[in-house]
Structure 1
Amino acid sequence: MSASKGSDDLSGTAFVTGGTGFVGSHLVEELLRRGVSEIRCLVRSEPKWLDEIRAKAPDRITYVRGELSNIEMLWEALDGVDRVYHVGGRTRARTYDALQEANVKATMNLLGAVKHAAPNVDRVLVTSSLAAVGRCEADVATEDMPLQPVSRYGRSKAEMEQAIRSAHQMTESYADVLPITIVRPPAVYGPRDRDILQFFQSVQRHICPVAGPASKPAVSLVHVKDLARGMVDSAMHEDAEGETYFIGSERAYSWNDVKDAATSALDTWALTVPVPTPLVGAVGAASELFGRLTGDYPALNREKTKEIRHACTICSSDKAKREIGYHQQIDLADGVANTIDWYKDRGWL
């Protein structure tokens, strides 16, 4: 049931992990827009954003209650599925064991269940991260670069990718195991995201903290709707089977670019405050200590500062552009304005 390049209409049944989260909920909306007949969403505890989405299409979204460790539940949920979108996982945790459990072991459990319950599945899309690349000699990461992660999260995603490849190497071809495509998003922003919200809140208070030169290209940023569209296109395109893609922005942005977009959308001004690179780790440690006092593990922690200081934060989407026709559709100014409007509507800003 492979779809052709550029197709905007899907049918059949999709199984989605991570649909209750930021990226996953937008992916579910994109699948609805493309006409997927049934979307089975794994729900571990609370549906969160899915309840709002399901209210608009109650007959097309089914909740599957359980964990990725429950193999029998997965067998039942995956029966008759045409495509699998694996977005679920953990982006941060205090220990590597927790990340390995959520990002490596859970992924392999899912793939084993797919092979058992849906051996003729059209595609399995697995979500990795630019953090899996880590250190690289070039300023811009491409898909053929070695994985040298610097953070626990990046290590878990790199180990996940390697586990998938190791399973592939036991047979003559990737397709003999499962038709898998891996996507590696860079930094993602958009409605429902709480991590970049802190940056916009700081800008609203007229302070724009920046690690490194403010005017130098520093980061690839992708709006979540562009990412969701690229993920679905990757899962639909027959040439994407067995491939890995960065799905990001078509150019790298400086922090001045991001600040300008934010101040324009907020109709305010902000002072750029450089944070010396050696102090970035100290800021992460202080944030982590405060998180312990409040019972939270913050987005800006010591592990995250390792990525900021030592990992490649810019990637090229040229391969996705060339092979699956991916194009960034939402530019930074429009994307930031759209995100900030959503935050204001929700009372987050």
Structure 2
Amino acid sequence: MQNPKPRIAFLTGATGFVGSHLAEELVQRGSYDEVRCLIRSRFKWLGGVSGITPVRATLGDLERLWKALDGVTHVYHLGGVTRAPDWRTFQKNNVQATLTLLGAVAQAAPGTIERVVVTSSLAAVGRGAEDVADETAPLDPVSRYGKSKAQMEQALAERHDMTASFHEKLPITVVRPPAVYGPRDADLFDFFQAVDRRVCPVVGGGDGRVSLVYAKDLARGVAEAAEAENTAGETYFLGGRAQSCTWNEVKAAATDALGHGALTVPVPGPLVGAVGAASEAWGWLSGSYPPLNREKAREIRHACTVCSSEKARADFGYAPATSLAEGVAETIRWYREEEWL
């Protein structure tokens, strides 16, 4: 009797915020004989994760990449950048790197690959939906990040039919998370830090709605999308347990977890751009590119921030379990343990 082929996962972006949670999820699920994680230099959040096989390479190192992809059955592509000061960086890391990886997969693992999951973003939709975005919404991004994710998706659709890519069969599933929060997150941390300091700026009166997904729920959903038989060639939004919440509700969950209140400081919509520009200028002086910048301000003001996960629920039973209160409390607990707060 012939032994079944080993199930091997290959993950990019594994040292990042969401990628590290996905690496943990893949190991804990027990679905794979091996979980290979592409690591450029530092292990970062993977330092305490046992059960992974580190692969020291970059997507530009094709010889090592082909070797690492040999025998792989599932590819999870989370690598990329979420903020950068110029378009070239987004295009190189989010568009070209994705196509490079898919080309390598098609050449290195044509006989074993079962699924490739590529991560996009709600930001790719931009103005394409007025209230709640679903997978039928057109792509009309308002930021460079959103534009790079939209170009990536369009490249997949134009070059391949999503189920027969390059020269070999390559079943692709695209997942689009909205804003993600949880332990290890450095972007929404600024919001929680402001609440901890008892002064919380919010756009408008804090009643604007946003879809938020807890990182561990997202990781579970990405793995489920990869392992379902009916998701090849499809695109899915993966939001949180509640379709949306207001920033006032996020603030309330944070004050409950912190054990003290915070003054809400409304920021008028037209001033958001100025705040983003000032934050960007300060980042330039301090040698970093901040989470709140002019591009992010444009998304806050003009892009759709709410998505529906109904298609994912219907197709593969996606059911995020973490409530906003639970997720925020766990996130703040982690920030305190790591002395971020």
**Shorter-normalised TM range:** over 0.9
CA separation in 2, counterparts of 1:247 and 1:198? 23
Q: In 2 relative to 1, CA 20–296 (structure 1 residues): closer, same or farther, beyond 3 Å? A: same
Q: In 2 relative to 1, CA 174–255 (structure 1 residues): closer, same or farther, beyond 3 Å? A: farther
Q: Do the aligned partners of 1:135 and 1:312 also contact (CA within 8 Å) in 2?
A: yes
Detail structure 1 runs of 4+ shifted over 3 Å in the superposition. 169-177
Q: Do the aligned partners of 1:68 and 1:74 also contact (CA within 8 Å) in 2?
A: yes
* 1:280 Cα deviation from its structure 2 partner: 0.1
Overall identity of the aligned pairs, in %: 60
Q: 2:52 matched to 1:61?
A: yes
Q: Do the aligned partners of 2:74 and 2:115 also contact (CA within 8 Å) in 1?
A: yes
Aligned to 1:5: none
Aligned to 2:47: 51
CA separation in 2, counterparts of 1:118 and 1:181? 17
Aligned to 1:85: 76
Q: 2:38 matched to 1:42?
A: yes
CA separation in 1, counterparts of 2:291 and 2:38? 24
* 1:47 Cα deviation from its structure 2 partner: 1.1
Aligned to 1:156: 148
> Secondary structure of the equivalent of 1:49?
helix
Q: Do the aligned partners of 2:141 and 2:147 also contact (CA within 8 Å) in 1?
A: yes
* 1:138 Cα deviation from its structure 2 partner: 2.6
Q: 2:191 matched to 1:205?
A: no
Q: 2:227 matched to 1:236?
A: yes
Aligned to 2:159: 167
Q: Tell me the TM-score normalized by structure 1.
A: 0.92
Q: Deviations over 1:168-226 (max 9, x none)?
A: 1499789964100000000000001111111111001111211134234x100000000
Q: In 2 relative to 1, CA 40–137 (structure 1 residues): closer, same or farther, beyond 3 Å? A: closer
Q: 2:61 matched to 1:70?
A: yes
Q: Do the aligned partners of 2:172 and 2:233 also contact (CA within 8 Å) in 1?
A: yes
Q: 2:293 matched to 1:301?
A: yes
CA separation in 1, counterparts of 2:228 and 2:286? 45
Q: How does 1:58-207 map to 2 (within 5 A)?
A: 60-120=51-111, 121-169=113-161, 177-207=169-199
CA separation in 1, counterparts of 2:164 and 2:288? 46
Aligned to 2:310: 318
> Secondary structure of the equivalent of 1:210?
strand
CA separation in 2, counterparts of 1:93 and 1:139? 27
Q: 2:243 matched to 1:248?
A: no
Q: Do the aligned partners of 2:165 and 2:171 also contact (CA within 8 Å) in 1?
A: no
Amino acid at match of 2:218: L
Structure 2 residues without counterparts, runs of 5 or longer: 1-5
* 1:114 Cα deviation from its structure 2 partner: 0.3
Amino acid at match of 1:69: G
Aligned to 2:15: 20
Q: Deviations over 1:273-329 (max 9, x none)?
A: 110000000000000000010000001000010100000010000100111100120
Backbone CA RMSD of aligned residues: 1.6
Q: How does 1:287-298 map to 2 (within 5 A)?
A: 287-298=279-290
Structure 1 residues without counterparts, runs of 5 or longer: 1-10
Aligned to 1:267: 259
CA separation in 1, counterparts of 2:308 and 2:167? 26
Q: Do the aligned partners of 1:175 and 1:242 also contact (CA within 8 Å) in 2?
A: no
CA separation in 2, counterparts of 1:243 and 1:234? 10
Amino acid at match of 1:37: D
CA separation in 1, counterparts of 2:302 and 2:135? 18
* 1:51 Cα deviation from its structure 2 partner: 1.4
Q: In 2 relative to 1, CA 207–346 (structure 1 residues): closer, same or farther, beyond 3 Å? A: same
Q: Tell me the TM-score normalized by structure 2.
A: 0.95
Count of matched residue positions in the alignment of Structure 1 and Structure 2: 333
Q: In 2 relative to 1, CA 95–219 (structure 1 residues): closer, same or farther, beyond 3 Å? A: same
CA separation in 2, counterparts of 1:131 and 1:118? 31
Q: Do the aligned partners of 1:19 and 1:27 also contact (CA within 8 Å) in 2?
A: yes
CA separation in 1, counterparts of 2:64 and 2:166? 26
Q: Do the aligned partners of 1:168 and 1:177 also contact (CA within 8 Å) in 2?
A: no
CA separation in 2, counterparts of 1:298 and 1:241? 36
